[in-house]
Amino acid sequence: MKLLKWIALLLVTQCFSYQETNSGLVFNLGLTVTPDRLVFIIVFMLATWTLICGELQFPSLGKVGFYTLLFAVICTASSFLMGKGSQVLYYLFDFIYKPFLVLIIAQSIPHSRKKLESLSFIFLALGAYLAINGIFERFGPHALVWPKYILDPSIGIQFERTRGSFLSSEGLGGALIGTFLFYLLYMIRAQGKQLYWAYLMIFVTAVVIYTTNQRAAWLGFGMCLVLLAIAKSDLRRVARVLVCIILLGFLSGIGGKFSLWENSTLFGKRQNTVDYRRVNNLTTLEMGKANPIFGVGFGNFLTEWPKYFRPIEGVAVNDLSDGNHNTYLGRFAEVGLVGLIPYLLIFYHMFRVGLRVHRKSEGFEREFTLVFLLVLISYIIGGNFSDYRTSPYINTVVYLLFGTVAGIEAHMASPTQQSAEEVWWAA
């Protein structure tokens, strides 16, 4: 139980920006140490000690663990043999190393109903902070926004949109999709005043996702609702109600950025960002095609893009110095097919495990697994619009939830573990 509390603190600390805000909590000890990385070190040491004491059992890697480890080895070798070496270790840590270790830790914690409830509560608490803070950021009063760096236009990106403590509307939108799903899960079991709170948070979270003005968040959110509306689940009824409300808003013209009657909806605006991504993706694809096996080296996009730049007639984009904007094309360009194929296989096997557990389980375990599958789908959608190397929170969430679902499958295969888990939770 203590380990889950530290994992909760890890997720909380990953919601904030430290280096961009010149936080006094950042320490340079050869490697940059931020609060989230320090908490992760504590989580890792605590998990290691618990394993040594025999309170946890080291799990089988499984195919997801194997391909993640293989991907880590490939990217690390690429960075030191062809890329930027130690300069990109922070990318490797946030993108691969930490999520992989979180997966192992999550699988090691014995499955129980209390484990799922504790994880759900973590996301409910995080969702309440992110959504309510987002309302204050967008509509006021600004005096209640915390931390204050959110209101500083000189740091972070996408200041004109709701971006939260991540200083990025992409980061906030991706995080809120996950917490929204957990509030739906909470709602179907809540009663009395708890039910009213769930309704309120579902509404507030949906509003803040809308105000991120982020296409990736909207697409991920919409896909989750559509799939929930057709899935055989206790969540289906409320998802259908939400889909109907959104369609009414779209048809009535209430939403200026998502309306049938507006000529300047979000999907028709910001053509400059669409053009930029077209040029960026075309250049990244050319980089991969020219180096299809091993790529140009992990971390080399910023130095190599001028060689493969492909302008589009009538599009005024001449500079890609802010980096790659597609996780999959970026891996193809930097580590080639040798790295891209294992990376895609990670998601394939995540889906296979998730679908197996969803079919075989029932009750809370079944609904929790469905939430994981939807978070994974939104993650994959978002990967087409940004590079997840700079998104430690969402990477950790996906692997944490998958490790939990894999633990459910292991528990179903070995019912004798039930007595052992009760001893662990009592301790």
Count of CA atoms in the C-beta half-sphere (13 A) of 375: 29
> Greater confidence, 332 or 423?
332
Q: What is the mean pLDDT of residues 302-329?
A: 88
Name the residue type at position 357.
Answer: V
Number of alpha carbons in the 13 Å side-chain half-sphere of residue 184: 30
Nearest to 323 by CA among 283, 382, 292, 295: 283
| DSSP letter string, 344-363 | HHHHHHHHHHHHHHHHH--H
Provide the 3-class DSSP secondary structure of residue 399.
Answer: helix
Confidence tier at 210 by pLDDT (50, 70, 90): very high
pLDDT at 251 over 80: no
Structural domain spans, the chain: 2-271+321-426
Query: C-alpha 251: how far from its chain's center?
Result: 31
Question: For the residues 281-288, what does the mean pLDDT come to?
Answer: 96
User: In this predicted model, which residue has the larger pLDDT, 179 or 24?
Assistant: 179
In the chain, DSSP finds a helix count (H) and a strand count (E) of 16, 2
- Averaged confidence pLDDT in the chain: 90
Region of poorest pLDDT, from 211-220, 256-265, 381-390: 256-265
Q: 3-class secondary structure for 137-191?
A: HHHCCHHHCCCHHHHCCCCCCCCCCCCHHHCCHHHHHHHHHHHHHHHHHHHCCCC
Please tell me the number of Cα atoms within 13 Å of 44 on its side-chain side: 12
pLDDT-based confidence at 423, cuts 50/70/90? very low
Other beta carbons within 10 Å of 296: 23
Look-up of token digits 């500079």: 319
Round to whole Å and give the CA distance between 300 and 84.
Answer: 7
Q: Percent of the chain, pLDDT > 70?
A: 91
Query: pLDDT category, 269, cuts 50, 70, 90?
Result: low
| Residue 203: partners with Cβ closer than 8 Å, 6 or more residues away | none
- 31 or 174: which leads in pLDDT: 174
Say what the pLDDT of residue 261 is: 54
Q: Residues 21-32: what's their mean pLDDT?
A: 78
Residue 190: what pLDDT? 87
- pLDDT value at position 234? 84
- Pairing, β 27-28 against β 32-33: antiparallel
Q: What share of the chain is helix, strand, coil (3-state, %, to 5)?
A: 70, 0, 30
Please, are residues 83 and 394 in contact by the beta-carbon 8 Å criterion?
no
Contacts 24+ apart (CB under 8 A), 20-28: 20/155, 20/156, 20/167, 21/147, 21/149, 21/152, 21/155, 21/167
- What is the pLDDT at residue 319? 86
Confidence category of residue 253, pLDDT binned at 50, 70, 90: low
* Global pTM value: 0.93
Q: Which of 53-57, 166-170, 172-176, 294-298 has the lowest mean pLDDT?
A: 53-57
Q: What pLDDT is recorded for position 419? A: 44
Summarize pLDDT for 30-77 with one digit per residue, the tens: 677 899 999 999 999 999 999 888 888 888 889 999 999 999 999 999
Q: What is the pLDDT of residue 48?
A: 92
Q: In the chain, what's the furthest Cα-to-Cα distance?
A: 67
Establish how many alpha carbons lie within 13 A of residue 306's alpha carbon, considering only the half-sphere containing its beta carbon.
3
**How far is 289 from 271, CA to CA, in rounded Å?**
27
pLDDT at 407 over 90: yes
Mean pLDDT value across residues 279-299:
96
pLDDT at 256: 56
> Given pLDDT bands bounded at 50, 70 and 90, which one contains residue 245?
confident
Predicted local confidence at residue 349, as pLDDT: 98
Q: Is the pLDDT of residue 284 over 90?
A: yes
Of the candidates 316, 328, 300, the one whose C-alpha atom is nearest the C-alpha of residue 386 is 328
Question: Residue 260 above 60 pLDDT?
Answer: no
pLDDT value for 86:
85
| Over residues 293-321, mean pLDDT | 89
